[in-house]
Amino acid sequence: MSGNTFGTIFQVTTFGESHGIALGAVVQGIPAGSVIDEKFIQAELDRRRPGSGIPGATPRREADKVKILSGVFGGVATGTPIALLIENTDQHSSDYDELAECFRPGHADCTYFKKYGVRDWRGGGRASGRETAARVAAGALAKLVLREYRIDVAAGVEALGGVKCAKIDFAAPQGNELNALDPEAVPAMRAAISAAAAAKDSLGGVIRCRATGVPAGLGEPVFDKLDAAVAHAVMSIGAVKGIEFGAGFGAAELRGSENNDPITPDGFASNRSGGVLGGISNGDALEFRAAVKPTPSIGIPQRTVDTGNAPREIAIGGRHDVCIAPRVVPVVEAMTAIVLADMLLLQRTRRL
């Protein structure tokens, strides 16, 4: 375990830095014979790209064209690893010259330095959100596996900068540039972003994700429970600081009689469990929420230190999103899909 490989059967290995030559993923374990829909992979990547209609969005413009290097022949997976390559094209490393000597608050600059003793400071190196492009590409392959099982994973922004969606509609995010679950919340969210941008500040948000069509029986007790594996996957996304399934933290304040989902011959009468009991999917929708912290890169001057531990003040320029929650949406979907694809394949081995 060296940190860049995830999964057991459906197994993803990623590489690449923000300002290196390329990012990529090597994906193992896609069942041979699966149709590989290249356009779908590209479309997923396109969903993650910087939003052009969003106020306060980074002006960085990466083409993010994905290239399949191996593992596909005649349009189907051959069972050998599928390598996906995304070249970096629009790098402004000079934007980051100051960062060679100085740690940005809220960023991984200082921790990478302390862990490794060296660091690629250009654009955050591997700690950049750009790393997630490889996850989305790999997640697209996972979604192709899920498609065979008629499982759908959808996510959206439930709250942004304190503005909450009044309704939850998982079809909505495709229709608005903030990936909001309630289109009526978009104007207020945009206003919040504009205000924060004007203040050279940033905002956080909450993402809700739901997977439908998940059969009962997925998840590997006791340590690799479905919710534990999804938590691992989603918490490994840079900006995510918390996750809760079903009633989540709210369950802590309920009584058992309120929180238990009654079982009926037609299924569960409610879904406060988030679709998981004892770490195994129960046949209901898998549902969870994830907290995204505000972008740490802000223009407001902040206290920090340099690599020699001398105090410094830093006002961060460069190209950053005021709120990255909308762009984290496809990443959350990708990581969830990767876990589900792996668990589906593992489950094939569990019974006689």
Among 55, 56, 123, 125, binds a second copy (CB under 8 A): 125
Q: Does 24 engage in binding with a second copy (CB under 8 A)?
A: yes
Asked whether the bond before 222 is cis by omega within 30 degrees of 0, the reply is yes
Residues 169-198 contacting a second copy, CB under 8 A: 196
Number of residues forming the site for a second copy (CB under 8 A): 156
Q: Does 291 engage in binding with a second copy (CB under 8 A)?
A: yes
Q: Indicate the residue among 103 and 170 with the shorter CB distance to a second copy.
A: 103
Among 92, 269, 315, 317, binds a second copy (CB under 8 A): 269
Report the C-alpha dihedral over residues 66, 72, 78, 82, rounded to 10 degrees.
-20
Question: How wide is the angle at C-alpha 155 spanned by C-alphas 79 and 211, nearest 5°?
Answer: 60
- Of 247, 291, 289, nearest to 268 (Cα)? 247
Contact track, a second copy, 208-227, x by CB under 8 A? --------xxxxxxxxxx-x
Q: Indicate the residue among 152 and 201 with the shorter CB distance to a second copy.
A: 201
For residue 51, how far is the Cα from the chain centroid? 16
Q: For residue 307, what are its two tokens?
A: 């690599």
Question: How wide is the angle at C-alpha 227 spanned by C-alphas 211 and 133, nearest 5°?
Answer: 65
Residues 126-165 contacting a second copy, CB under 8 A: 126-127, 131, 148, 159, 161-162
Q: Does 168 engage in binding with a second copy (CB under 8 A)?
A: no
Q: Which residues, including other chains, have CB under 8 Å from residue 264's CB and lie 6 or more apart?
A: none
Q: Indicate the residue among 171 and 309 with the shorter CB distance to a second copy.
A: 309
CB-hemisphere CA count at 13 Å for 345?
18
DSSP letters for 116-175: HS----GGGGGGSGGGHHHHHHHHHHHHHHHHHTT-EEEEEEEEETTEE-SS--TTGGGG
End-to-end CA distance of the chain: 30
Q: Does 106 engage in binding with a second copy (CB under 8 A)?
A: yes
Tokens 């006791």, residue located? 222
Choose the stretch contacting a second copy; rule: CB under 8 A; options: 38-46, 89-97, 113-121, 172-180: 113-121
Q: Indicate the residue among 39 and 351 with the shorter CB distance to a second copy.
A: 351
Residues 292-331 contacting a second copy, CB under 8 A: 292-298, 300, 302-305, 309-311, 325
Q: Does 93 engage in binding with a second copy (CB under 8 A)?
A: no
Q: Indicate the residue among 173 and 205 with the shorter CB distance to a second copy.
A: 205
Q: Does 243 engage in binding with a second copy (CB under 8 A)?
A: yes
Residues 45-64 contacting a second copy, CB under 8 A: none
Report the C-alpha dihedral over residues 212, 286, 224, 328, rounded to 10 degrees.
90
Q: Does 247 engage in binding with a second copy (CB under 8 A)?
A: yes
Q: Does 123 engage in binding with a second copy (CB under 8 A)?
A: no
Q: Does 42 engage in binding with a second copy (CB under 8 A)?
A: no
Choose the stretch contacting a second copy; rule: CB under 8 A; options: 44-52, 54-62, 90-98, 259-267: 259-267
